């Protein structure tokens, strides 16, 4: 979706402000919000892409005015509410008004280390042969889906070159909207910075990881 | 996205309420929450990535492995799993400097760098890194020669990038453990360079 999360190329946010000796968390609530997000994610109630979709669905003004853990917290509440895992009145007073629902999994303390070490790889069996190879010229599709996508606005309708092929991976545009994994070939595509920004850039090139459905073939020699 | 808006005690109360609700419903184990926090607050961090970089500087066979299969090479040192399932190493050179960003959210290689700093997740970094990386580097006090091209990597998929900075001059004969002390988190994101060795005066080195 063309939400506030899609920030690449915007102006006006001011300088980056690094913090010396930054702690992992800046407040106790951040620790708990972080852990709750991971623990609820581990229940299998939603996909990683659905979690991202929930965060980007925040109203743009709210998204931009929130710290990152506030965005996570709002996303977590929305994901749980949508699935009936918690209800508005429960979030309001912190008390249980309806019994918990059965979940696919529950992350036990003794399983934390193994679950983190395992992670959640997204590579899957390929649905067929790859359409593109390293060196191929491609054109990204001009798309503006209202649902989840990982093709940033600045990289739509642009010409680039495939520089790496990574196997087939879960396709976020379907996984993020509850439509299943639909694994698709994943490529790293290199764009000349001028193709994206014209003369107004100090980058030489920008590399974006693109799933096959984002790409069309483009004739002509590789640049 | 600056984080000073909502009242801190309000947020604290809201998160406490959610936690007690989820525990009461049987969805989460509070001890598991503590274990998650302990892991990322105290165990996983950029010291992991620094060891990977120092080894890449000193062990040509390992560097070759990193180039062919960074996920397996890094996992062989014990760093794998969540948010590092598919790793790619990017080698800086005098010709090319790599800079990593996630314009759409906060994708970051947790097993080697820990959790991302606030600035990495902030609008200023995410908006500017892809269009004006030299301006971003200037915010970090880093100035590269015009002859060094800057390649920006936007982490749009589940591939996670680790920058291998250039080995600083004056470190001949250093072993990997000593070299690792020169490898900063920012150098492995591309917003910094590896540190120069301390000047050999006053016995500090």
Binary contact (B21, A94; C-beta < 8 A): yes
**pLDDT: is A68 or A222 the higher one?**
A68
Summary mean pLDDT of chain A: 96
**pLDDT: is A128 or B199 the higher one?**
A128
Instruction: Indicate the CATH number for domain B47-189.
Output: 3.90.330.10
User: Which one, of A188, A205, A173, lies nearest residue A132 by Cα?
Assistant: A188
Q: Least CA distance to B82: which residue of chain A?
A: A119
Cβ-based burial of A146 (10 A; exposed 0-12, middle 13-18, buried ≥19)? exposed
Kindly report the nearest CA distance between residue A42 and chain B, in angstroms: 10
pLDDT at A105: 95
User: Which one, of B146, B132, B86, lies nearest residue B111 by Cα?
Assistant: B86
pTM over 0.90: yes
| Number of domains into which chain A is organized | 2
For residues A92 and A155, membership in a common domain is answered with no
Q: Is the Cβ of A219 closer than 8 Å to some Cβ of chain B? A: no
Q: Is the Cβ of A194 closer than 8 Å to some Cβ of chain B? A: no
Quick check: is B102 catalytic? yes
CATH number at residue A52: 1.10.472.20
- Establish if A12 belongs to a structural domain: no
CA distance to A8, A195, A203, A205, B131, per residue, from A198 (Å): 15, 6, 11, 12, 10
User: Which one, of A174, A172, A176, A175, lies nearest residue A186 by Cα?
Assistant: A172
- Residues from chain B that touch A96, judged by Cβ atoms under 8 A, are 21, 24-25
Q: Is the Cβ of B76 closer than 8 Å to some Cβ of chain A? A: no
pLDDT-derived band of residue A71, with 50, 70 and 90 as boundaries?
Answer: very high
Statement: residue A221 has pLDDT above 70: no
pLDDT-derived band of residue B6, with 50, 70 and 90 as boundaries?
Answer: low
Final residue of a structural domain among A73, A100, A118: A118
For residues A146 and A213, membership in a common domain is answered with yes
Q: Least CA distance to B30: which residue of chain A?
A: A109
- Establish if A16 belongs to a structural domain: no
B118-129 pLDDT per residue, tens: 999 999 999 999
pLDDT at A223: 46
Interface confidence, given as ipTM, is 0.97
CA distance to A193, B123, B171, B197, per residue, from B204 (Å): 43, 39, 15, 10
Kindly report the nearest CA distance between residue B48 and chain A, in angstroms: 14
Quick check: is B106 catalytic? yes
Average pLDDT over residues B6-14: 84
Final residue of a structural domain among A79, A98, A118: A118
Distance (Å, rounded) from C-alpha B96 to C-alpha B92?
6
- Establish if A104 belongs to a structural domain: yes
Task: Tell me which DSSP letter residue A159 carries.
Answer: E
At how many degrees (to 10) do helices A28-41 and B30-38 cross? 110
For residues A145 and A95, membership in a common domain is answered with no
Statement: residue B2 has pLDDT above 50: no
pLDDT cut 70: percent of chain A above it: 98
pLDDT at B201: 62
pLDDT-derived band of residue B141, with 50, 70 and 90 as boundaries?
Answer: very high
Average pLDDT over residues A134-162: 98
Q: Is the Cβ of B128 closer than 8 Å to some Cβ of chain A? A: yes
pLDDT at B7: 72
For residues A79 and A110, membership in a common domain is answered with yes
CATH number at residue A188: 2.30.30.50
Encoded tokens for B183? 């490898």
User: Which one, of A202, A206, A30, lies nearest residue B102 by Cα?
Assistant: A206
A37-51 pLDDT per residue, tens: 999 999 999 999 999
Domain boundaries in chain B?
8-42, 47-189
pLDDT at B23: 96
Statement: residue B3 has pLDDT above 80: no
Supply the DSSP string of A178-204, one letter for each residue: TS----EEEEEEEEEHHHHHTT--S-S
For residues A105 and A133, membership in a common domain is answered with no
Summary mean pLDDT of chain B: 94
- Establish if A157 belongs to a structural domain: yes
pLDDT-derived band of residue A92, with 50, 70 and 90 as boundaries?
Answer: confident
- Residues from chain A that touch B72, judged by Cβ atoms under 8 A, are none
- Establish if A7 belongs to a structural domain: no
Kindly report the nearest CA distance between residue B153 and chain A, in angstroms: 5
Provide the domain limits for residue A47: 28-118
pLDDT cut 90: percent of chain A above it: 96
């Amino acid at each position: 979706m063309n939400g506030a999360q899609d920030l690449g190329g915007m102006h006006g946010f001011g300088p980056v402000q690094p913090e010396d000796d930054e702690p992992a968390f800046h407040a106790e609530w951040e620790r708990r919000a972080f852990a709750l997000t991971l623990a609820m994610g581990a229940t299998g109630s939603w996909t990683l892409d659905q979690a991202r979709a929930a965060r980007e669905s925040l109203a743009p003004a709210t998204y931009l005015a929130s710290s990152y853990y506030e965005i996570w917290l709002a996303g977590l509440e929305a994901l749980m509410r949508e699935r009936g895992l918690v209800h508005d009145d429960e979030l309001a007073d912190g008390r249980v008004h309806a019994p918990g629902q059965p979940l696919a999994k529950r992350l036990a303390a003794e399983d934390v280390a193994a679950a983190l070490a395992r992670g959640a790889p997204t590579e899957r069996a390929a649905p067929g042969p790859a359409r593109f190879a390293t060196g191929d010229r491609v054109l990204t599709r001009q798309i503006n889906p209202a649902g989840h996508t990982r093709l940033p606005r600045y990289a739509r309708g642009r010409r680039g070159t495939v520089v790496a092929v990574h196997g087939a991976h879960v396709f976020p545009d379907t996984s993020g909207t509850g439509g299943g994994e639909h694994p698709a070939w994943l490529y790293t595509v290199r764009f000349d910075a001028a193709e994206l920004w014209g003369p107004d850039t100090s980058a030489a090139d920008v590399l974006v990881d693109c799933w096959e459905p984002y790409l069309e073939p483009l004739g002509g020699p590789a640049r | 996205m600056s984080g000073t808006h909502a009242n801190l005690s309000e947020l604290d109360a809201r998160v406490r309420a959610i936690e007690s609700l989820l525990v009461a419903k049987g969805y989460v184990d509070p001890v598991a929450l503590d274990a998650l926090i302990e892991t990322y607050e105290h165990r996983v961090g950029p010291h992991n990535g620094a060891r990977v970089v120092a080894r890449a500087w000193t062990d040509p066979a390992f560097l070759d492995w990193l180039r062919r299969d960074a996920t397996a090479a890094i996992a062989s040192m014990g760093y794998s799993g969540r948010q590092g399932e598919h790793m790619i190493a990017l080698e800086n050179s005098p010709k090319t400097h790599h800079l990593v960003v996630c314009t759409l959210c906060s994708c970051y290689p947790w097993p080697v760098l820990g959790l991302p700093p606030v600035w990495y997740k902030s609008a200023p970094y995410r908006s500017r890194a892809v269009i004006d990386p030299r301006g971003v580097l200037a915010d970090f006090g880093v100035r590269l020669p015009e002859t060094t091209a800057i390649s920006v990597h936007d982490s749009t998929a589940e591939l996670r990038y680790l920058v291998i900075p250039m080995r600083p001059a004056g470190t001949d004969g250093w072993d990997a453990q000593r070299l690792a002390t020169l490898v900063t988190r920012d150098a492995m994101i591309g917003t910094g360079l590896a540190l120069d060795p301390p000047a050999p005066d006053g016995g500090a080195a």
